[in-house]
Amino acid sequence: MRLQDLLKQQRLQNHYTQAQLAEKLFVSTQAVSKWEHGQSVPTIDNLLMLSDLYNLSLDELVQGSPFFKKPYVVGHRYRRSCVIMLLIGWLVVSILACGLNLQVGLVFVMIPVLVTGCLLLSMTKDYWIIEQDGLTIQQYGRGFILPKLLAKDQHLQHIRYADLTQVTLNYQVYYHISAFDFGPDSFKLGLTAKDGRQWTLDFSTRVKDFLPQFVNYLERQGVPVNDDQQIMAVVLRGESLYDHFNESSNTTKAN
């Protein structure tokens, strides 16, 4: 989102008129109007005063979200070593607890190992990493993924920003067919490369922490961002994406 739009949005959210804001900053109303029409930009002193007035960091004020250092992981990055150490630790404790009786110890070990394995497979999700020159993604796919989880080489894919022709933000409401249907809504990032390849990446729930800065960063890298649903505007207003799109969906159904 452009600086002029961010400045106007913050002013409206804080319930100031242009004249009231101008008075607090010791500038003219015309100056505030020019900022919001993109005809000029505030000086660093004025930006610092706006930052104090709105209780925001400069990054949040001019880019819409706090600064995040790259690489930045979106999702949960699976660490093979942690699971291996957990299983080894449980094996040692089990053997000691069973008084070195291997038959009893084997039963004692196998049950939690199987449970741990099932939980690991169900909880393992794809993740992706925002880097300086591109995106690195890990997608496990379907089927038996345990060998992929235990492999030293995780077969990460790296996609350079220079190779992307478009990025698309897409939010889809999940329509529940019964009271026991707890499927989540879908919020994804679609990538299209110059050679025709496409990827679909899941967003984390805390998109306010990085999404506005990430979108601005993509645009500075020359990657067009398609946001037909005005998702960025909802995020910048601090609204819940779930509430916004489900309320819109319910209103559409009622009409």
Question: Domain extents for the chain?
Answer: 3-67, 80-123, 129-254
For the purposes of burial, counting CB atoms within 10 Å of the CB of 84, is it exposed (0-12), middle (13-18) or buried (19 or more)? exposed
CATH superfamily of 3-67: lambda repressor-like DNA-binding domains (1.10.260.40)
4 phi and psi, to 5 degrees?
A: -60, -40
> Is 77 in a helix, a strand, or coil?
coil
Distance CA(56)–CA(48), nearest Å, equals 10
Question: CA 132, 134, 138: angle at the middle one, nearest 5?
Answer: 120
Asked if residue 6 has pLDDT above 60, the reply is: yes
Asked if residue 208 has pLDDT above 80, the reply is: yes
CATH fold of 129-254 reads: PH-domain like (2.30.29)
Q: Token pair 């106007």 is at which residue?
A: 8
66 contacts 57 by C-beta, under 8 angstroms: yes
22 contacts 31 by C-beta, under 8 angstroms: yes
Q: What is the pLDDT of residue 45?
A: 95
Q: What is the pLDDT of residue 30?
A: 96
The mean pLDDT value for 43-52 works out to 94
Q: Is-cis flag, bond preceding 112, omega within 30? A: no
User: Residues of 43-59 as b/e, b for ≥16 C-beta within 10 angstroms?
Assistant: eeebbebbbebbebeee
Asked if residue 141 has pLDDT above 70, the reply is: no
What residues contact residue 159 under an 8 Å CB cut-off, 6+ apart? 134, 135, 136, 137, 191, 193, 199
Asked if residue 126 has pLDDT above 90, the reply is: no
Tokens of 126: 């794809």
Asked if residue 172 has pLDDT above 80, the reply is: yes
108 contacts 59 by C-beta, under 8 angstroms: no
Q: Token pair 């093979």 is at which residue?
A: 80
